[in-house]
Structure 1
Amino acid sequence: MVTASVMPSSSSSAASLCSPRSCLGSLPRPAIPPPRRSPNSIPPGVSFPLTSPSQLGLRASRAPPSRSPVLSSARQLKAEVVTKDSWHELIVNSEGPVLVEFYASWCGPCRMVHRIIDEIAEEYAGKIRCFLLNADNDLDIAEDYDIKAVPVVLIFKNGQKRESVVGTMPKDFYVAAIQRVIDF
């Protein structure tokens, strides 16, 4: 039995045996699978002729409604806006029950509470007055009532705070708090 071993005599000959380029070049390359198609994608080579609504027996539609944030978010609020200038007149000096929602314009959950307060303002018209106060614009009022986050709903009777609901809650929570103040 004959065995032979080859030992390089210098470091330069070792480099010639396996340079990074030659070693990596001899390795098999992994197969890259083709990109997946969405189940809703149209296969290549398939086209659809363009048709007008009248060719399909449809009437031409009007232009889509404007997506302007001012127009799309504009709606008639049932709750009135109160500011620091009108706070004493409308809230503190009020003889009947008053609900005030503290909100911020950037607050998403506040928008949900607005809808609830608007419904309550409509349903309880004559029993309670509902107001909105922008806590960012009237920070002094928010600080006076220790409002640290929004939305917060405070219910007053005869100028005194009687109930509070913190956060976004189901309508029943607000209604129960209102009933407690009205029945008090």
Structure 2
Amino acid sequence: MAASCCSTALFSFSRPNTSYGVVSSSSVSLSLPQQTHQFGLSFRAQRRLEARKSVRVSCIGDNKTAAVTGKSWDKLVLDSETPVLVEFYASWCGPCRMVHRVIDEIATDYSGRLKCFVLNADNDPRIAEDYDIKAVPVVMLFKNGVKLESIVGTMPKEFYVAAIERVLAS
């Protein structure tokens, strides 16, 4: 069984009447005695897993980008005179968190020339279905209520910037 936390590999092997435990990390002294639970991870690995469960990090709440919902969709996206970028995400999606950071930077860089919003596809499935969203993250660019660009998956910032520049130039 193997688990990973912050690039530290943790391993534990168990057999009846025999227990082996190995922790591989530059920050952990291997000279300390290793205690192993009867069914699974080493004592240190179990403690790290428990610590990871108790810490909840959410990038969504720290967003500089405003949220759009099904109720505000027409007003904020389709009726906007300014081009609009919308990121479709899900709260459980890890890659979406990476895209959030990029969209936050873009919202700051293009302030006044582009409106940026995020939409939780789980909370507003009607909008996601209207635009045939099958997986997240998806970033869409709208101009005058028309979808002009769609980027599926996690891409480098330059990829989004190139699409934005094409929309602004059209």
The reply to whether TM is greater than 0.5 is yes
Partner of 1:40 in structure 2? 30
Partner of 1:81: 67
- Write the deviation string for residues 89-145 of structure 1: whole angstroms up to 9, x where unpaired: 000101110000000001000000000000000111011000000000100000000
Looking at structure 2, the residues matched to 129 and 92 of structure 1 have their Cα atoms a distance apart, in angstroms, of 12
Residue 166 of structure 1 aligns with which residue?
152
Structure 1 Cα separation of the partners of residues 96 and 104 of structure 2: 12
1:6-38: CA deviation from partner (whole Å, max 9, x where unpaired)? xxxxxxxxxxxxxxxxxxxxxxxxxxxxx7987
1:81-100 pair list within 5 angstroms: 81-100=67-86
Q: Offset at 1:73? A: 2.8
User: C-alpha separation between the residues in 2 aligned to 1:163 and 1:37?
Assistant: 49
For 1:110 and 1:157, the matched residues in 2 are separated by 23
Q: Does 1:142 align with 2:128?
A: yes
Query: In the TM superposition, what is the alpha-carbon distance from 1:78 to its structure 2 partner?
Result: 1.8
CA distance, structure 2, for counterparts of residue 37 and residue 91 of structure 1: 54
- For the residues of structure 1 that align with 2:160 and 2:167, how far apart are their CA atoms? 11
TM (norm. structure 2) is 0.68
Q: Note if 1:131 corresponds to 2:117.
A: yes
Aligned residues: 127
Moved over 4 A (4+): 35-39
Spell out the pairing of 1:114-129 with structure 2 (5 A cutoff): 114-129=100-115
Question: Quick check: which has more Rg, 1 or 2?
Answer: 1
Deviations 1:45-80 (A, max 9, x none): xxxxxxxxxxxxxxxxxxxxxx642xx436532211
Which amino acid in the other structure matches residue 122 of structure 2?
D
Output the CA distance in 1 between the equivalents of 2:74 and 2:21: 65
Gaps (5+ residues) in structure 2? 1-19, 24-28, 34-53
**Greater strand percent: which structure?**
2
Give RMSD over aligned pairs: 2.3
Change (3 A) 1:157 1:68: same
Q: 1:113 aligns with which of 95, 99, 124?
A: 99
The whole-number CA distance in structure 2 between the counterparts of 1:132 and 1:102 is 6
Secondary structure of 1:114's partner? helix
Hey, what's the Cα distance between the residues in 1 that align with 2:135 and 2:22? Answer: 46
Q: Distance in 1 between matches of 2:159 and 2:32?
A: 51
Q: 1:97 to 1:37 in 2, by over 3 A?
A: closer
